[in-house]
Amino acid sequence: MTPLLRLDHFTLLVGLALASIAVLAWRDRSNPRRRTSGLFWGLYAVIYLVGDWLPPVTAGIIVVALAALGGLGGVGIGKHALREPAERQASAARNGNKLFVPILAISTLALVGSLTLKEVHLGNLLLIETKHLTLVCVGLGSLVGLAAALRMTRERPMQALHESRRLLETMGPAVILPQMLATLGLLFTDAGVGKAVASITTTLLPMDHAWLAVAAYGLGMALFTMVMGNAFAAFPVMTAGIGIPFLLGLHHGNPAVMAAIGMFCGYCGTLMTPMAANFNIIPAALLELKDKNAVIRAQWPTALLLLGVNIVLLKFLMV
C-alpha cells in the first residue's frame, strides 16, 4: 500500500532547497568562488533529487567531485545581508522564549508522531510510510517549525532560504562529511575490514584474557570512530572483528550490554576527532571561534575519562 507521506517527499524538498541555494551562490558576485560554490551545492542537490535513479558510477563521480571541490577550497562564502544588532535585539525582546517554539515543534512532533502515527490510515490509504516513520515525523516537525518561525518573525519564506544558504556556507563542505563517513563504514564492512581487525588482534594480543578482549573492543571502537567520524560506522567493523568472535563467542558476554556500552565507547571517540565535523567543527564555525579545534580541546579530557569508565563497566556488566 502506497502511503500518503514518504521519506522521498522530504528528500525531494531538501534537494529543491539545495538547488535553490546553488543558484543563489552562483549569482552572488561578492563570492570570489561563486561558480565552484554553486557547482558544489548543485551537485549535492542532484544526490537528493535523483540519487535513487543514478547509475552507481555516476553517483561515485559526483561524490569524488564534491570531495575535490571541498578539499581544494572551491567552496566560498558570499556576502549576506544581516539585520542591524538593534533590530535583532528588538525582535528577540518581542518574541522572548517563544523563539524556542519552532525548535521544540520538531522534537515534539518527531516523538509524538513516532508513538501515535504508526499504521494510521485515512480511509484506505496509509498516512505515513512505516519503514521511515521517525524520519518522516522529523520532516513534518521541521515544516511546522518553519511555519511557526516565519509567523513569529514576520519574515517571508525566501528569508528562510537565504538563512539556510548562510548557514550552509558557514559550515562549508564539512556538512556532507557525516553522509560520506556513513558510506565509508559500509564499504569497510563489505571489504572485510572486520576480519582483518580480528586477525591482527589475535596475532598481537592474547584474546583469551577477558580484560584484554574488552579493552581491545572499547579502545577499537573509540579509535575507529576517530578515524571514521561516526560511531555507527565503526560499530559493524569492530563488532564483526572483536565483539562477536571474542566477547560473545569466546567469553560468552551479554550482546545487549556489549552493543550499548560499545557504542558509548565510540561516542568517546566522537568527542576527540575533527572527522566528526557535525559535532566538533561545525559548532566552532557557527560560533565563529578562532580555533576550529576549540570544541575538541574542551572535550578530550572528559572523553578519555568516560572511555576508561565504559571499559570497566563493559568488563563487569558483560562478561
Report pLDDT digits (tens) over 107-125. 999 999 988 988 888 878 8
In this structure, are 196 and 245 located in the same domain?
A: yes
Q: 97-101, 223-227, 280-284, 298-302: which has the minimum mean pLDDT?
A: 280-284
Domain span at 91: 85-154
User: Does 197 lie in the same domain as 150?
Assistant: no
124 phi and psi, to 5 degrees? Answer: -95, 5
Q: What per-residue confidence (pLDDT) applies to 279?
A: 82
Residue 319 has pLDDT above 70, yes or no: no
In a domain, 75, yes or no: no
Alpha helices in 51-121, H assignment, sequence order: 56-71, 85-95, 101-116
Distance CA 39, CA 37 (A): 5
Cα 250 to chain centroid, rounded: 34
Number of structural domains in the chain: 2
Judged against a pLDDT cut of 90, whether residue 234 lies above it is answered with: no
pLDDT of residue 66: 93
- How far, CA to CA in Å, does 189 sit from each of 182, 193, 195, 232, 245? 11, 6, 9, 12, 15
Does some domain include residue 24?
Answer: no
Grid cell digits, residue 148: 511557526
3-state helix, strand, coil in the chain (%, to 5): 80, 0, 20
Chain center to CA of 63: 17
Q: Looking at the predicted structure, is the pLDDT value of residue 188 above 80?
A: no
Packed helices 34-50 and 56-71: angle between N→C axes, nearest 10 degrees:
150
Average pLDDT for residues 33-41, to the nearest whole number? 93
The residue assigned the cell 567520524 is 229
* Domain presence at residue 21: no
The pLDDT of residue 267 is: 93
Is the same domain home to 223 and 314?
Answer: yes
pLDDT tens per residue across span 274-307: 888 778 877 887 777 888 888 999 999 999 999 9
Interval 227-235 mean pLDDT: 81
Does residue 42 belong to any structural domain of this protein? no
Judgement on whether residues 109 and 222 belong to the same structural domain of the protein: no
314 lies in the same domain as 200: yes
118 belongs to a structural domain: yes
Q: In terms of pLDDT, which residue wins out, 192 or 140? A: 140
Q: Given this model, what pLDDT does residue 305 score?
A: 96
Q: What pLDDT score was predicted for residue 239?
A: 87
Q: Is residue 186 part of a domain?
A: no
How far apart CA 149 and CA 90 sit, in angstroms, is 16
Statement to judge: residues 135 and 198 lie in one domain: no
Q: What is the mean pLDDT of residues 192-218?
A: 81
Q: Enumerate long-range contacts of 118-125, CB under 8 Å, 24 or more apart.
A: 122/4, 124/1, 125/1, 125/2, 125/3, 125/4
Same domain, 202 and 140: no
Average pLDDT, the chain: 87
- Residue 238 domain-assigned? yes
In a domain, 41, yes or no: no
In order of 68, 159, 270, the CA distances from 166 in angstroms are 22, 10, 26
- pLDDT value, residue 139: 93
3-state SS class at 76:
coil
Q: Are 44 and 66 in contact (CB under 8 A)?
A: yes
Confidence of residue 227 (pLDDT cuts 50, 70, 90): confident
Please give the model's pTM, rounded to 2 decimal places. 0.77
Q: Kindly calculate the radius of gyration of the chain based on its CA atoms and give it in whole angstroms.
A: 23
136 pLDDT band, cuts 50/70/90, is: very high
Average pLDDT over residues 202-219: 86
**How far, CA to CA in Å, does 121 sit from each of 6, 71, 130, 132, 141?**
14, 47, 11, 16, 19
Q: Is there a single domain that holds both residue 199 and residue 147? A: no
Contact in structure between 141 and 107 (CB atoms under 8 Å): yes
Q: Does pLDDT of 26 surpass 70?
A: yes
Taking residues 65-71, report their average pLDDT: 90
pLDDT of residue 311: 94
Nearest to 262 by CA among 249, 240, 243, 276: 243
